[in-house]
């Protein structure tokens, strides 16, 4: 792309002249200088163009069809939105009266024809520079005025707030002065300002508190345990923003304290109701999270939780170089059970199996999951293969001892389980999927060998 397209636009110039030759010449010269140029041949077209977009500068001929250059200049000068646009007259009229009239109407410069192109360019640049400096100065003045208005408004507002906040605020508001010993160490604070809510909260009146020392009778006081924090507010200019539990009344307060001179100002609010709602909401969220991770039928963890927990414990055992064991199991011939006893009885059977499996685990980290359909899983962190086999056998025996009738089972008169076990010390060469696959192969072997049994599958890691 050419440089003329890359260069930034220096300004937007409107040329008004009924001579096509002049328009071509002026536009060509100015465009080469980096200006965007719009040309029109009469005053009406100029007004239409200005209404569409305000130019940064206007080059204006005096003698024009319909509306003369003088008249157009007068129209623009009487309009608040256009009066600041610099106008340079370019005219063959060179008498003193013509120039005086132009400047009286508000033009910025007057160039007589014929003119020198270099001179014209310099005058355009000069007027645009003046125009932009005026605009910048106006912006600065406006910003300064707005800032003064803001300061004045804030000051008036502060005065109004200071006059009304103490008696109208629903929060406790107080101010304290630091009391220092001869070494300059803060040893106490004196009440200076206190509103009715603050006085009522600490069980006194405003008159009795003003001038009183904060540490007087502080035992059981609302601010007990906060003295050192108040000292930090004054000495280190920190902002204290704290939720404080008032044990005597079992209330919660939100306290905000900021440095004020050689002391501090404080605002405090009773938030007991809000804290109670937060506690209830937290408990509700925990319950929702629990329900999201629990299988509604069996009341053990669901498949979604299985995936999360397996990845979590995989990472933990990998960090600590400990064994992670997995048990997968199926209810034997469960389809036959549903066919014989119905789906409602099948649901009750799965619930009993899940609860029986839960009784076999002893450690908080060991978790039972409904893996899908009649399939269950158990994740046993920090458990080697031998221990996992013991747990699996215990689970098998527990379910058999439940003596849930199953007339269509081909291995027992009662509901039984087939279980596949595997274990591994997680490493970069393995993945949770490999552990699942190994346990699944062990489960397949348990079924193939006649069901109602436990099989262990060693997990073979790829050679380095």
What's the confidence (pLDDT) of residue 51? 87
Tell me the sheet residues that pair with 242.
255
Q: Round to the nearest angstrom and report the end-to-end CA distance of the chain.
A: 57
Does residue 463 surpass a pLDDT of 50?
no
Can you give the three-state secondary structure of 97-132, one letter per residue? HHHHHHHHCCCCEEEECCCCHHHHHHHHHHHHHHHH
Using CA atoms, how far apart are residues 416 and 411, in angstroms rounded to an integer? Answer: 8
**Mean pLDDT within 83-92:** 87
Tell me the sheet residues that pair with 372.
375
In the chain, what are the domains?
Answer: 3-137 (3.40.50.2300), 172-273 (3.30.450.20), 294-456 (3.30.70.270)
**Mean pLDDT within 150-157:** 78
Does residue 286 surpass a pLDDT of 80?
no
Check: CB of residue 190 under 8 Å from CB of residue 211: yes
What's the confidence (pLDDT) of residue 325? 94
Q: Which residue has the higher pLDDT, 379 or 156?
A: 379
DSSP 3-state of 311: helix
Range in 86-95, 132-141, 243-252 the model is least confident about:
243-252
Does residue 115 surpass a pLDDT of 90?
no
Please report which confidence band the pLDDT of residue 165 belongs to, taking 50, 70 and 90 as the band edges: low
Please report which confidence band the pLDDT of residue 53 belongs to, taking 50, 70 and 90 as the band edges: confident
Of the candidates 186, 188, 217, the one whose C-alpha atom is nearest the C-alpha of residue 204 is: 217
Out of 4, 308, 374, 445, pick the active-site residue. 374
pTM passes above 0.85:
no
Does residue 2 surpass a pLDDT of 50?
no
- In the chain, what percentage of residues exceed pLDDT 70? 93
What's the confidence (pLDDT) of residue 163? 53
Does residue 349 surpass a pLDDT of 80?
yes
What's the confidence (pLDDT) of residue 7? 64
Phi, psi of 417 (to 5 degrees): -125, 145
What's the confidence (pLDDT) of residue 160? 65
Using CA atoms, how far apart are residues 82 and 46, in angstroms rounded to an integer? Answer: 12
Q: Which residue has the higher pLDDT, 289 or 87?
A: 87
pLDDT tens for 380-393 read 999 999 999 999 99
Does residue 21 surpass a pLDDT of 90?
no
Using CA atoms, how far apart are residues 326 and 330, in angstroms rounded to an integer? Answer: 14
The full length of the chain comes to 464
- In the chain, what percentage of residues exceed pLDDT 90? 34
Q: Which residue has the higher pLDDT, 62 or 327?
A: 327
What's the confidence (pLDDT) of residue 451? 92
pLDDT tens for 119-150 read 888 888 888 888 888 888 888 888 888 888 88
Does residue 54 surpass a pLDDT of 70?
yes
Does residue 42 surpass a pLDDT of 90?
no
Known catalytic residue: 204? no
Give the residue ranges of DSSP H helices in 250-298: 272-293
Does residue 464 surpass a pLDDT of 50?
no
**Mean pLDDT within 335-353:** 92
pLDDT tens for 388-440 read 999 999 999 999 999 999 988 899 999 999 999 999 999 888 899 999 999 99
Range in 166-170, 208-212, 298-302, 364-368 the model is least confident about:
166-170
């Amino acid at each position: 792309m050419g440089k003329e397209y890359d260069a930034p636009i220096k300004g937007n110039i409107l040329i008004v002249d009924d001579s096509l030759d002049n328009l071509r010449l002026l536009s060509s010269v100015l465009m080469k200088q980096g200006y965007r140029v719009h040309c029109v041949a009469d005053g009406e077209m100029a007004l239409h163009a200005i209404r569409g977009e305000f130019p940064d500068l206007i080059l204006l001929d005096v003698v024009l069809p319909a509306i003369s250059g003088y008249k157009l200049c007068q129209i623009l000068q009487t309009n608040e939105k256009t009066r600041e646009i610099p106008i340079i007259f370019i005219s063959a009229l060179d008498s003193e009266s013509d120039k005086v009239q132009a400047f009286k109407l508000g033009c910025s410069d007057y160039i007589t024809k014929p003119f020198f192109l270099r001179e014209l360019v310099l005058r355009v640049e000069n007027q645009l520079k003046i125009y932009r400096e005026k605009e910048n100065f106006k912006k600065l003045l406006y910003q300064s005025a707005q800032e003064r208005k803001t300061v004045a408004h804030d000051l008036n507002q502060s005065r109004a707030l200071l006059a009304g906040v103490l008696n109208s605020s629903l929060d406790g508001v107080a101010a304290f002065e630091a009391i220092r010993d001869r070494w300059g160490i803060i040893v106490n604070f004196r009440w200076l300002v206190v509103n009715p809510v603050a006085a009522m909260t600490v069980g006194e009146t405003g008159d009795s508190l003003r001038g009183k020392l904060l540490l007087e009778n502080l035992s059981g006081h609302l601010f007990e345990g906060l003295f050192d924090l108040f000292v930090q507010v004054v000495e280190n200019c920190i902002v204290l923003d704290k939720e404080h539990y008032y044990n005597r009344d079992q209330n919660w307060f939100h306290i905000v304290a900021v440095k004020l001179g050689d002391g501090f100002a404080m605002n405090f609010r009773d938030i007991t109701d809000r804290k109670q709602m937060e506690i209830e909401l937290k408990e509700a969220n925990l319950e929702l999270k629990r329900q999201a991770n629990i299988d509604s039928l069996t009341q053990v963890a669901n498949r979604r939780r299985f995936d999360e927990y397996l990845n979590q414990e995989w990472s933990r055992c990998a960090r600590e170089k400990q064994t992670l064991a997995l048990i997968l199991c199926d209810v034997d011939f469960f389809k036959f059970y549903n066919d014989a006893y119905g789906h409602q009885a099948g649901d009750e059977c799965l619930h009993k199996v899940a609860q029986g499996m839960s009784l076999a685990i002893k450690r908080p980290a060991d978790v039972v999951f409904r893996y899908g359909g009649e399939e269950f899983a158990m994740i046993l962190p920090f458990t080697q293969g031998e221990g996992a086999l013991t747990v699996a056998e215990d689970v098998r025996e527990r379910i058999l001892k439940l003596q849930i009738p199953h007339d269509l089972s081909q291995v027992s008169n009662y509901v039984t389980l087939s279980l596949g076990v595997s274990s591994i010390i997680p490493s970069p060469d393995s993945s949770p999927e490999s552990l699942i696959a190994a346990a699944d192969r062990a489960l397949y072997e348990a079924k193939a060998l006649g069901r109602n049994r436990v099989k262990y599958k060693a997990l073979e890691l790829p050679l380095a």
